[in-house]
Amino acid sequence: MSKLFVARNPRVAARSLDGEMMLMSARDSTLFTLNKTATIIWQSADGNTPLDEIVHTRICAEFEVEPTEALHDAETLARELASHDILQLSEEPIPQTGGSR
Amino acid sequence: MSGLLEEMTQKALARNIPLSVQLDLTYRCNERCVHCYLDHDDHGEMTTAEIKHLLDEMAEAGVFILTLSGGEIFLRKDLFEILEYARRRLFFCVKLKTNAILIREAEAARLREIGVESIQISIYSHRPEVHDAITLVPGSLKRSLDAVRFLKAQGLRVTLANVLMVQNAQDYRGVRALAEELGVECSLDPTITPMMDGNRSILSLNVDKDELRQVFRDESLVGSVDEFCAISGPADDNTLASLPCSAGHTNCYVSPYGEVFPCVQFPLPTGNVRKQRFIDIWRHSERMNDVRSIRLKDLTTCSSCSHVSGCSRCPGLAYMEGNMRGPSTQDCEKSFARTGVPSANMLAKKRDGISLVQIQSLPAITSATV
């Protein structure tokens, strides 16, 4: 099974408000907020770490969730965020610059 | 405001987070607009390093929406370095205010690449002879409109910002038609504000009450005239316990010299980021906290005014009139032009006026009788 790499779209605006991540799409200025789990995925989406590794090391380690179910939910979320140009998805590592707050 | 943004604003308010900041990068400008409230000399702007440090502090404090304005921001040679830092490193939602006359195809492409959220461009008329007579720069309308087209071609969100004044009172419909033709948004501000040093001479450029009344009855601007011009109902306890505006609550303003104010239109100095951390000024400035303590019920005169729940009263304009808890006469005049009902402030002034006339007229009546 191929790996899925996730990277933050560098044209998205983002800020953590007391642990809750606010994002604004560069495409249409739509505002999104992410829950804690989704925020972890966003913050870990460096283009180099595969999604299954993010789920294993960051989500399953912090929350009591079953790994297969967590990965399925994470993939669904990542594809939804990608449909809004919030995340970039690829089966190859994605070069990135910058950080996020 | 969208529902989600309103929700986030409420959360920021509850947690005392400055969600939105306007940072003026310079007061220098390549136009000389007749109604401008700024002194265009450079009195020691923050350096690139100082601005980057400030942006770090703002991001740390939770600032999400960063509006960069001036003066003319494109006169800063480091503008794109600042923008890259604000977007790529700190992920701000960046909005720009500019006259755009220095934006050509290359700058527009770079703004898109950086991911600027929107660009507000000052346009005062669809007629070059009117716009250029306000900016005092021949050819400025053409250059600004060329820039709008370059930015639109990049898919960027553009708003034409028009300020209503004596010189262009008849042209706001033309600017709106122009915006529609260009496929961009348009805003109209009917208030000329005093200069930041308190000089009020430019207030003479405000349109008169009759013209303002007509503008407020233009359906193409306000939608339902009956609704827009309706007198607001009496204020209940919840209304009186509410905040006058967002200045100092979720928004603030930083000048090119590092001074922090509650709002760009509220020149109450609360600290300087060259001497203190931004978050310390935001949280601990006595003046900022004084602004924060004000509720509608605390407003002298206004709390008992019939317009209190529907008025656009600006605390900054009230402050420039002498009392940040007092009325803003310009907003009283707007409420009057909108509804035809004088404000409590106007009635009080009229009462004082009548009383003075009576005292002065008595000897004249007496002498005429004699």
Residues of B in contact with A97 (CB under 8 A): 88
Which residues does residue B95 pair with via DSSP β-bridges, in sequence order? Answer: B67, B118
Question: Which pLDDT tens digits describe chain B residue by residue (370 residues)?
Answer: 678 888 899 999 999 999 999 999 999 999 999 999 999 999 999 999 999 999 999 999 999 999 999 999 999 999 999 999 999 999 999 999 999 999 999 999 999 999 999 999 999 999 999 999 999 999 999 999 999 999 999 999 999 999 999 999 999 999 999 999 999 999 999 989 998 888 889 999 999 989 999 999 999 999 999 999 998 878 899 999 999 899 999 999 999 999 999 999 999 999 999 999 999 999 999 999 999 999 999 998 999 999 998 898 999 999 999 999 999 999 999 999 999 999 999 999 888 764 433 333 333 333 333 2
| Beta strand spans in A1-101 (E) | 5-8, 13-17, 20-24, 31-34, 46-50, 87-90
User: Are B115 and A26 a contacting pair, CB within 8 Å?
Assistant: yes
Which residue in chain B is spatially nearest to A101 when comparing CA positions? B90
- Please report the pLDDT score of residue B359 as a whole number: 37
| Window A:59-98, CB contacts with B under 8 Å | 97-98
Which of A29, A31, A101 shows the shortest C-beta gap to B91? Answer: A101
Name the least confident of A49-58, A92-101, B166-175, B310-319.
Answer: A92-101
Q: Give buried/exposed letters for B115-143 (b at 16+ CB in 10 A, else e).
A: bbbbbbbbbbbbbeebbbbbbebeebbeb
Taking CB atoms and an 8 Å limit, are A31 and B89 in contact across chains? no
Tokens 């008595």 sit at which residue? B362
Q: What is the CATH number of the domain that holds A43?
A: 1.10.10.1150
- Average pLDDT of the segment spanning A14-22: 88
Q: Smallest Cα–Cα separation from B328: which of B289, B350, B300, B352?
A: B300
Which of B4, B12, B88 shows the shortest C-beta gap to A10? Answer: B88
The H or E element containing residue B93 is: strand B93-98
ipTM, two decimals:
0.84
- Average pLDDT of the segment spanning A34-58: 92
Taking CB atoms and an 8 Å limit, are A17 and B11 in contact across chains? yes
The H or E element containing residue B260 is: strand B259-261
In a domain? residue A32: yes
Joined tokens for residue B191: 């208030």
User: Are B30 and B99 a contacting pair, CB within 8 Å?
Assistant: yes
Using the Cβ of A26 and the Cβ atoms of chain B, whether some distance falls under 8 Å is answered with yes
Q: Are strands B251-254 and B20-24 parallel, antiparallel or unpaired?
A: parallel
Residues of A in contact with B87 (CB under 8 A): 10-11, 13
Number of domains in chain A: 1
In a domain? residue A93: no
Which residues does residue B361 pair with via DSSP β-bridges, in sequence order? Answer: none
Joined tokens for residue B161: 């910002």
In a domain? residue A54: yes
- Residue A77's domain comprises 5-88
Taking CB atoms and an 8 Å limit, are A17 and B93 in contact across chains? no
Which residues does residue B93 pair with via DSSP β-bridges, in sequence order? Answer: B65
In a domain? residue A99: no
* Packing angle of the helix pair B105-114, B140-153 (nearest 10 deg): 40
Q: pTM higher than 0.80, yes or no? A: yes
- Please report the pLDDT score of residue A97 as a whole number: 59
Tokens 């000089």 sit at which residue? B199
In a domain? residue A47: yes
Strand order in the sheet with A13-17: A13-17, A20-24, A31-34
Give the rounded distance of the alpha carbon of B156 from its chain centre: 22
With pLDDT > 70 as the criterion, what percentage of chain A qualifies? 94
In a domain? residue A94: no
In a domain? residue A69: yes
In a domain? residue A96: no
The Cα–Cα gap between B38 and B214 comes to 29
